[in-house]
Every structure is written in structure tokens, then in C-alpha cells.
């Protein structure tokens, strides 16, 4: 079972920063999950919310700010909002990545960025927007992709297959053993997110999932 750090290791360091990624690596995470968006001048950056307000000392939309303006913000403990290029460089040869596409239309650019970087580890492209998951498959037929689900649709496994995903990501309170078994029967890798409580981790592990995403990868 893969141990996956959420937004780096968000329970230990400011989320989606290089310090958080370093923390996840030092805690032995197999993969690090981060969120990808784009600045007004077209740079890919690592940040979760559409606005910078919650996680930085600034205010405004990520998509409305230039990279230069974003880089002036403090993302916590003096950390800057990283670019995808910086992240790939920092993680290369050390840990695999889940790159969650938070906005539409990023697929081609994110794939290109990964390929240009020469990143050698595992990369899984993820999104709640299943059209984006499918776009990744079109941009890179070899890519690993994950269809994420919040509330479950009638047939999430079919929906993931329709998106041509290799992986499926369930909110942990929605996963069942039979759902995981169905994923496996249909050749899909099943992850659960975001599990922080020790008892919840134990329960989710017993369902046979292939990976768990946690703010505290050291608890997995």
C-alpha cells in the first residue's frame, strides 16, 4: 500500500510548499500529492484554493495574478508558492508525484512541463474534472491518471473507465471493500483520501485500498 503525503505533508508544514514536500520525503512518503493551477501570465503553480487568501498573506485570485506577484506572497513559514518546474526539480529521483489539476485546460501544459523536466519518477495526473483526466490521456497515452470522486456517482468505476483513468480516488468515508474489489476486477488502482485519524487509517487499510492520502504520511 502506497503512503501518500497530502499537499506535501500538510499536517507538519505549510501545505503545497517545497518545505511540505521535503517533509513528506523525510517521513518516507511513496508519493506526494499537490494541487496545480495557472497564473495570469501562464505559469503553472502549486496552490489549492482558487484564491490566495487562506494560505498566504495576500488576497486575490490565482488566475488573476502574475507569477511575480504570487512569488511575493508568504505561503507560510516564509515559504513561497512553488512553480511546477521547481517542484519537479526538487522531487526528481526522490519521490513520486500526484499532480491534481484544479482548473480546466491544464492537461497539455502540465504533461509538457513534466516531460521537459526529465522527471524520472512516477507521476499520476488527477482531477475531479473527468474531462481533464481524459485530456491527459489524449496528451500522453502512457500517462497514469486518476479520476477523483467526492460524492459517489451511480457507477464511479464505470465513470473512471469512461475517463480512461488508470486510478480512482475515493473520499475515504465513501470507500467499501466491494467497491475496491470492483476496481481491481476492472484493472483500476484504488486510493482513498484524506485520512488523518489513526483508527480511520486502520479501517480504510482493511478495505484493501492500494494507497492512502494523508496530511500525516508518517501515520500510514
Our CB check for Ca ion shows the closer of 69 and 200 to be 200
48 is catalytic: yes
User: H helices within 33-83, ranges in order?
Assistant: 67-71
Question: Shortest gap between Cβ of 5 and Ca ion (angstroms)?
Answer: 11
Cα dihedral 197, 96, 10, 53 sign: negative
Beta strands 44-46 and 31-38: pairing type?
antiparallel
Q: Residue 3 CB: number of other CB atoms within 10 A?
A: 18
Residues 6+ apart with CB under 8 A from 163: 130, 131, 133, 134, 137, 145, 147
Our CB check for ligand G3P shows the closer of 61 and 69 to be 61
Distance (Å) of CA 220 to CA 18, 73, 111, 173, 194: 21, 32, 29, 17, 11
Question: Shortest gap between Cβ of 43 and Ca ion (angstroms)?
Answer: 19
Selection from Ca ion, ligand G3P, none that 11 binds (CB < 5 to 8 A by kind) is none
Decide: is 11 part of the binding site for ligand G3P (CB under 6 A): no
Our CB check for ligand G3P shows the closer of 66 and 213 to be 213
Decide: is 100 part of the binding site for Ca ion (CB under 5 A): yes
Decide: is 132 part of the binding site for Ca ion (CB under 5 A): no
User: Measured at CB, which residue is nearest to ligand G3P?
Assistant: 193
Backbone angles phi, psi at 122, to 5 degrees: -75, 135
Decide: is 193 part of the binding site for ligand G3P (CB under 6 A): yes
190: β partners? 168
Residues 45-64 that bind ligand G3P (CB under 6 A): 48
Question: Shortest gap between Cβ of 118 and ligand G3P (angstroms)?
Answer: 25
Decide: is 148 part of the binding site for ligand G3P (CB under 6 A): yes
Decide: is 35 part of the binding site for Ca ion (CB under 5 A): yes
Question: Shortest gap between Cβ of 148 and ligand G3P (angstroms)?
Answer: 5
DSSP annotation of 161 reads H
User: Cell 485520512 identifies what position?
Assistant: 195
Give the catalytic positions in this structure.
6, 48
Amino acid at each position: 500500500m502506497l503512503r501518500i503525503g497530502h499537499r506535501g505533508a500538510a499536517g507538519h508544514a505549510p501545505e503545497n510548499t517545497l518545505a511540505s514536500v521535503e517533509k513528506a520525503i523525510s517521513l518516507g512518503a511513496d508519493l506526494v500529492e499537490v494541487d496545480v493551477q495557472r497564473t495570469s501570465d501562464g505559469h503553472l503553480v502549486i496552490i489549492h484554493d482558487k484564491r490566495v487568501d487562506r494560505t498566504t498573506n495576500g488576497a486575490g485570485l490565482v488566475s488573476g495574478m502574475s507569477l511575480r506577484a504570487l512569488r511575493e506572497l508568504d505561503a507560510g513559514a516564509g515559504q513561497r508558492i512553488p512553480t511546477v518546474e521547481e517542484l519537479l526539480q526538487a522531487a526528481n529521483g526522490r519521490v513520486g508525484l500526484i499532480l491534481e489539476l484544479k482548473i480546466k485546460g491544464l492537461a497539455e501544459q502540465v504533461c509538457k512541463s513534466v516531460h521537459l523536466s526529465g522527471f524520472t519518477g512516477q507521476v499520476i495526473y488527477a482531477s475531479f474534472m473527468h474531462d481533464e483526466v481524459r485530456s491527459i490521456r489524449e496528451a500522453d497515452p502512457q500517462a497514469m491518471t486518476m479520476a477523483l470522486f467526492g460524492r459517489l456517482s451511480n457507477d464511479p468505476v464505470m465513470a473512471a473507465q469512461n475517463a480512461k483513468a488508470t486510478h480512482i480516488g475515493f473520499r475515504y468515508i465513501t470507500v467499501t471493500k466491494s467497491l475496491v474489489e470492483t476496481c481491481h476486477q476492472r484493472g483500476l488502482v484504488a486510493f482513498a483520501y484524506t485520512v488523518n485519524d489513526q483508527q480511520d487509517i486502520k479501517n480504510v487499510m482493511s478495505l484493501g485500498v492500494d494507497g492512502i492520502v494523508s496530511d500525516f504520511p508518517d501515520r500510514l
